[in-house]
């Protein structure tokens, strides 16, 4: 892990793109402006963090902006990890996809499945993703089940004995 000083230095290099820096339980986290996520990851790649280990989605309900996307970067040479966190609101959950190659440098092909999962579960739309479909839930599914306001057991289950009643309700 970069220590607290290392995190300050990286934060300074990135300038205005960094909104906040957290050092918690030996884990360095950069809170980043959603518009700059590709630039920040490219900068960190140039600094040795060449492996994107994981992408997580989060819902910070009831805090705003609610949705979070977390990128775990790994430097295999120095065995060092850094976390980049982006927050987007639910009414405009847009974010640049980091999967494809772009003008600002090569992409991270490993993020493809993981961004699809974040879209599936939280509804974050990744602009420019090569295959922006759901991955775990059925394609015709409505809603994003990992959001905190989506109830557990919110999925109605159709049993044979209720079939007639269901069909009536649909008409």
Interacting positions 53-112 with other proteins (CB under 8 A): 53-54, 56-59, 70, 72, 76, 79, 81, 83, 108-112
The CA angle 156-161-166, to the nearest 5 degrees, is 50
The CB-of-86 to other proteins minimum distance in angstroms stands at 14
Binders of other proteins: how many residues, by CB under 8 A? 39
Q: Which two tokens stand for residue 121?
A: 């579960």
The CB-of-88 to other proteins minimum distance in angstroms stands at 16
Rounded alpha-carbon distances, angstroms, from residue 83 to 2, 38, 132, 136, 142: 10, 14, 24, 25, 31
The CB-of-109 to other proteins minimum distance in angstroms stands at 5
The CB-of-61 to other proteins minimum distance in angstroms stands at 9
The CB-of-167 to other proteins minimum distance in angstroms stands at 27
Cα-to-chain-centroid distance, residue 90: 13
Q: Which stretch binds other proteins (CB under 8 A): 32-40, 90-98, 142-150, 156-164?
A: 142-150
Residue 34 or 112: the one with the smaller Cβ distance to other proteins is 112
Binding site for other proteins (CB under 8 A): 24-27, 29, 50-54, 56-59, 70, 72, 76, 79, 81, 83, 108-114, 117, 121, 134-138, 145-146, 148, 150, 152
């Amino acid at each position: 892990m970069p220590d607290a000083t290392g995190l300050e230095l990286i934060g300074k290099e990135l300038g205005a793109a960094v909104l906040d820096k957290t050092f918690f339980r030996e884990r360095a986290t950069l809170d980043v402006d959603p518009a700059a996520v590709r630039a920040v990851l490219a900068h960190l790649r140039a600094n040795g963090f060449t492996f994107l280990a994981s992408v997580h989605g989060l819902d910070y309900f009831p805090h705003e902006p609610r949705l979070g996307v977390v990128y775990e970067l790994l430097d295999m040479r120095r065995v060092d990890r850094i976390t980049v966190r982006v927050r987007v609101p639910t009414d405009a959950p847009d974010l640049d996809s980091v999967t494809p190659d772009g003008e600002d440098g090569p992409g991270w092909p490993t993020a493809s499945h993981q961004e699809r999962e974040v879209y599936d579960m939280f509804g974050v739309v990744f602009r420019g993703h090569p295959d922006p479909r759901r991955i775990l839930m059925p394609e015709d599914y409505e809603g994003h089940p990992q959001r905190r306001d989506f109830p557990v057991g919110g999925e109605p289950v159709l049993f044979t004995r209720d079939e007639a009643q269901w069909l009536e309700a649909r008409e």
